[in-house]
Amino acid sequence: MKLWQKSYTVDQQIERFTVGQDRELDRYLAPYDILGSLAHIQMLQKIGLLTAEEEAALAVALRKLHRKAEAGELEIEAGVEDIHSQVELLLTRELGEAGKKIHAGRSRNDQVLVDLRLYFRAELQSITELAAQLFSILMQLAEQHKNVLLPGYTHFQAAMPSSFGLWFSAYAESLVDDLRLLQSVYHNINQNPLGSAAGYGTSFPLDRKLTTELLGFEDLSYNVVHAQMGRGKSELFLSYALAALAHTLGKLASDVVLYVSQNFAFLSFPDELTTGSSIMPHKKNPDVFELIRARCNYLQSLPVQVSQLTISLPSGYHRDFQLLKEAVFPAIQHLKDCLSILSFALPQAKVNHNILEDERYQYLFSVEVVNELVLKGVPFREAYQQVGQQIAAASFSPPETIRHTHEGSIGNLCLEEIEQKMAAVMKGFPFEQVQTALERLRG
């Protein structure tokens, strides 16, 4: 079945090529397509295009289909082009003429727009909650290990003292920045395109504000051409948010891969979190973190993939947009997997408490000695030269304690302030309002 079916039959080779992976990928959109239809039929009944009896019967049937879709049991049949066609086919089989009326006032163009925005909105909430969970774990680890020192590196050279508290909470605060960007994308996506039809509106007296309220959107995409122009741009904004989070997670994973190696030995994990070698009995490989790093590197290429798929396209709908699903849908799942596995693995990390006892790290404290001299009145450049001469003469003696007291340093991590930043960001997501609206719609 095709919603655009005419008197001729499309060549099978053409059909296979144009349908592509839509049947498989539309399973992600199935629950959201049905929610969009539930809102649409209420609006059609209000403006007189459905009777109250027809709307009630359609609502019962759609809610039944929605439960199947959420359970992963709604299949797109062979010969059916997409989820929109499948839902309409099932409604028509069950309800006859009422099922055929459901498409009035909309196009597949605005159907897929609303499906995607509902899907992206839900996935952004899931990603936000997973990131917040990882944030909490990192903050707990920072507090637990705040007094354990480790080397800080620049240019892959041991540079200055750092701490596990500093290291863990650095990634936690980076997640706050990532969620700020993600929140901006969420608000951009959380606008209703339904009613823009094929991109130029319709002569039906649609009530677009009603569907906006029913679907829990913050506002409308008012201009119907602008609504259609959101296809591709929503995915681009989303790709930047996913890439930013991936940047943080990939760097964290890369640190872990270094830190668990024998040359560093800053961290270790239980054997069951590592893999072995087929020929080297001693090997315990951090494969999970290498795969996180690789997936996050792939995710950071997503904005380029999306922009290249949509570059120089004029306004209006184009079939090129179909390929965006193939890039974006798997990327969302990859990021969620990375967040989940990090939250599982990191709490099991064992920290080495004696790293800086190794003499190779004694020069980490050279700046501490320079600063001590400066505090005693020696000009900084002279103090720098004095310590440099001590190092050259092998007479340098590192201090036994370090004193970092300013905000965000080893001795003053400002964990409470970082927690407050995260709490403020989380308050900016209207998750409760959205859930309340959708629960009403589901009945």
- In this prediction, residue 19 carries a pLDDT of 62
Identify the pLDDT of residue 398. Answer: 86
Q: Residue 76: which residues within 8 A CB-CB, separation 6 or more?
A: 23, 26, 27, 82, 83, 86
2 pLDDT above the threshold of 90: no
Please state the rounded mean pLDDT for residues 172-199: 97
Strand, helix or coil for residue 221? coil
> 281-287: which pairs have CB atoms within 8 A and are 24 or more residues apart?
286/256, 286/257, 286/260
Q: Which residues contact 403 (CB under 8 A, 6 or more apart)?
A: 411
At 221, list the tokens. Answer: 């995409």
Q: Tens of pLDDT along 382-434? A: 999 999 999 999 999 888 788 888 999 999 999 999 999 999 999 999 999 99
Per DSSP, what are the bridge partners of residue 150? 162
Same domain, 175 and 56: no
Same domain, 71 and 175: no
The confidence score (pLDDT) of residue 400 equals 75
| Residue 304, both tokens | 């380029």
Looking at the domain assignment, is residue 398 inside a domain? no
> β-strand 219-220 against 191-192: which pairing, if any?
parallel
Measured in residues, the chain has a length of 443
Q: What is the model's pLDDT at position 18?
A: 62
| Claim to verify: residue 92 and residue 112 sit in the same structural domain | no
DSSP string of 98-110, one letter each residue: HHHGGGTT--HHH
- Look-up of token digits 């066609």: 85
Angstrom distance (rounded) from CA 194 to CA 185? 19
Task: Convert the pLDDT of each residue in 320-372 to its tens digit.
Answer: 899 999 999 999 999 999 999 999 999 999 999 999 989 889 899 999 999 99
61 & 129 share domain:
no
**Looking at the 3D structure of the chain, how many domains does it have?**
3
Query: DSSP 3-state assignment of 21?
Result: coil
Quote helix, strand, coil % in the chain, to nearest 5: 65, 5, 30
How far, CA to CA in Å, does 116 sit from each of 101, 189, 241, 339, 437?
A: 23, 9, 16, 22, 18
Q: At 191, which CATH number?
A: 1.20.200.10
Give the C-alpha separation, 99 to 271, whole Å.
57
In a domain, 210, yes or no: no
Quote the tokens at residue 320.
């090129």
Domain match, 123 and 84 both: no
Classify residue 77 by burial, with Cβ atoms within 10 Å: 0-12, 13-18, 19+.
Answer: exposed
Residue with tokens 């996506």: 189
What's the whole-number average pLDDT of the chain?
Answer: 93
| Whole-number Å distance between alpha carbons of 74 and 82 | 12
Statement to judge: residues 131 and 93 lie in one domain: no
What distances in angstroms separate CA 385 from CA 276, 380, 391, one per listed residue? Answer: 49, 9, 10
Residue 336's nearest CA partner among 371, 361, 302, 299 is: 299
159, pLDDT greater than 80 = yes
Instruction: Please tell me whether residues 384 and 305 are part of one structural domain.
Output: no
3-state SS assignment for residue 283:
coil
CATH number of residue 76's parent domain: 1.10.275.10
Residue 211, domain member (yes or no): no
Collapse the DSSP code of 242 into the 3-class scheme (helix H, G, I; strand E, B; otherwise coil) and give the result: helix
Res. 116: pLDDT tops 90: yes
CA distances from 88 to 77, 382, 387 (A): 12, 81, 79
Tokens of 394: 């092998």
pTM tops 0.75, yes or no? yes
In this predicted structure, what is the pLDDT of residue 402? 85
pLDDT digits (tens, 9 = 90+) for 52-103: 999 999 999 999 999 999 999 999 998 888 899 999 999 999 999 999 999 9
Can you give the pLDDT at residue 278? 62
Chain position carrying tokens 């190696």: 261
> End of a domain among 103, 119, 134?
103
Is the pLDDT score of 308 beyond 90? yes
- Last residue of one domain, picked from the residues 70, 88, 103: 103
Residue 5 forms part of a structural domain: no
Place of tokens 């319709």: 202
Q: How far apart are CA 443 and CA 436, in angstroms?
A: 11
Please determine, for residue 439, whether its predicted confidence score (pLDDT) is greater than 90.
Answer: yes
Q: Which of 88, 103, 118 is the last residue of a domain?
A: 103
Residue 202 phi, psi (nearest 5)? -155, 160
**Which domain range does residue 99 map to?**
12-103
* Same structural domain, 96 and 144: no
Q: Which residue, among 432, 422, 433, 434, has the nearest Cα to 180 in the 3D structure?
A: 422
What confidence score (pLDDT) does residue 81 get?
A: 83
Residue 323 lies in a domain: yes
Category of 98 on φ-ψ map: left (φ > 0), alpha (ψ -120 to 50) or beta: alpha
Distance CA 421, CA 150 (A): 26
Reply yes or no on whether the pLDDT at 187 is more than 60: yes
- Provide the percentage of residues in the chain whose pLDDT is more than 90: 82
What are all long-range contacts of 164-171, with beta carbons under 8 Å and residues at least 24 apart?
A: 164/351, 165/410, 165/413, 165/415, 166/142, 166/409, 166/410, 166/413, 167/142, 167/255, 168/138, 168/139, 168/141, 168/142, 169/138, 169/139, 169/142, 169/413, 169/415, 169/418, 171/138, 171/248, 171/251, 171/252
Same domain, 133 and 31: no
Kindly report the backbone phi and psi dihedral angles of residue 67, in degrees, each rounded to the nearest multiple of 5, phi listed first. Answer: -65, -40
Q: Is 222 part of any domain?
A: no
